[in-house]
Amino acid sequence: MKKFLIPLALFFVLVVFLAIGLKRDPKEIPSPLMGRVAPAFTLPTLDPNAPAFDPQQMRGQVWMLNVWATWCVACRQEHPLLVAFSKANQLPIVGLNYKEVQAQDLQQGTQPDTAQTLAIARQKSAAWLQRFGNPYAVSVFDLDGRVGINYGVYGVPETYLIDQAGVIRYKQIGVLTPEVLTEKILPLVKALNAS
């Protein structure tokens, strides 16, 4: 009467899968951009007089792209770590300021143009970086989030490690922690610099 054991066997398989599933985070979405060239863009920087920034300018060195915004509470958490990291290492960090200007920053019933929005974004982020420290070699502004979409950004903060050829090597979803820096990012940087 082996067939009576089938339900038990199926159940056992199910439990195994569920047990493995307990160790996974269903909300974590790996990036399909790993190993691909970082998407190109041209965005204005914090300094109104400086030329626009393009990731091509970073070719030849390993660098980090950190997606942040002043309204992002979690970004505040990782910011001190970023500031310390920028001081200790020669790794340039580019800040991608994501959708800085929100509806509540705009006056009720007005439709500002891009220049005005950019001005507000620059003002807000300059003040914030002044207060909490500026780890960024360059700060760029993705006002409407379209560059973010190209990078597969779905939350803030997110951080990318990009190599000398402009290829994305690592994506951190969420807050950067000391463990992630020491265990994942720094060894990778070392390996990339050595090759």
Partner 1 sequence: MHPKRPLFIHIAASLLCAMLLSPQIQAGEAKPMAEDPIVEKRLIHISEELRCLVCQNESLASSRAELANDLREEVRKLIAKGDSDAEIKTYLVERYGDFVLYRPEVKPLTWVLWFAPFILLGLGLIGMAVYLRTRRKLPIQRHGLTADQRRQVQTILNARDNP
Partner 2 sequence: MIIEIGHFALILAACVALIQGTLPLMGTWRQDGQWQALAKPTALLQFALIALAYGTLTHAALIDDFSVKYIAGQSNTLLPVPYKVASVWGGHEGSLLLWVLMLSGWTVAVAVFSQRLPLPMVARVIAVLGLISAGFLLFILITSSPFERLIPAPADGRDLNPLLQDPGLVIHPPMLYMGYVGFSVAFAFAVAALLSGRMDAAWARWSRPWTVVAWMFMTTGIALGSWWAYYELGWGGWWFWDPVENASLMPWLFGTALIHALMVTDKRGGFKAWSILLAIGAFSLCLLGTFLVRSGVLTSVHAFANDPERGIFILILLALVVGISLTLFAWRAPKATLGGEIGLVSRESMLLANSVLLVVATAAVLLGTIYPLIIDALNLGKLSVGAPYFNAVFVPLMVPVIFLMVPGGIAHWREAKLQSLARDMRLPATAAIVAGAAVWLFTDRGTALTGMGIGLAVWVVVGLLVQIADRLKKPGRIAPSFWGMHLAHLGIAVVVVGITFVKGYEEERDVRMAIGDNVTIANYDFTLREVTVVDGPNYKALQAAVQVFKNGQPIEVLRPEKRKYFSSSMPMTEAAIDYGWFRDLYVAMGDPIPGDKQQWAIRVYYKPFVSWLWGGAVLMVLGGLLSVSDRRYRNTKKTLAA
Q: Which residues bind partner 2 (CB under 8 A)?
A: 1, 4-5, 7-8, 11-12, 14-15, 17-24, 26-30, 103, 106, 108-111
CB of 151 to partner 1, least distance (A): 7
**Does 11 participate in binding partner 1 (rule CB under 8 A)?**
no
Is-contact 97 69, C-beta < 8 A? yes
- DSSP letters of 104-132? GGSPTT----HHHHHHHHHHHHHHHHHHH
| Residue 10, H or E segment | helix 6-21
Q: Find the part of the chain contacting partner 1 (CB under 8 A) among 11-19, 122-130, 145-153, 179-187.
A: 145-153
Q: Is 13 in a helix, a strand, or coil?
A: helix
Please check whether residue 153 is in contact with residue 29, taking contact to mean a CB–CB distance below 8 angstroms.
Answer: no
Number of H helices, E strands in the chain: 6, 5
Which one, 150 or 177, has the nearer CB to partner 1? 150
Residue 126 binds which of partner 2, partner 1, none (CB < 5-8 A, kind-dependent)? none
Which letter does DSSP use for residue 162 in this model? E
Beta strands in 21-92 (DSSP E): 63-68
Using CB under 8 A as the binding rule, whether residue 99 contacts partner 1 is answered as yes
What residue 37 binds from partner 2, partner 1, none (CB within 5 to 8 A, per partner kind)? none
Rounded Cα distance, 177 and 128, in Å: 21
- Indicate the DSSP class of residue 19: H
Is 166 a residue that touches partner 1 (CB under 8 A)? Answer: no
Instruction: Indicate which single residue of 11, 144, 183, 193 sits in contact with partner 1 (rule: CB under 8 A).
Output: 144
Contacts to partner 1 from residues 15-34, by CB under 8 A:
29-33
Select the binding partner of residue 194 from partner 2, partner 1, none (C-beta < 5 to 8 A, by kind). Answer: none
152 near partner 1 (CB under 8 A): yes
Q: Which residues bind partner 1 (CB under 8 A)?
A: 29-33, 99, 144-146, 148-152, 154-155
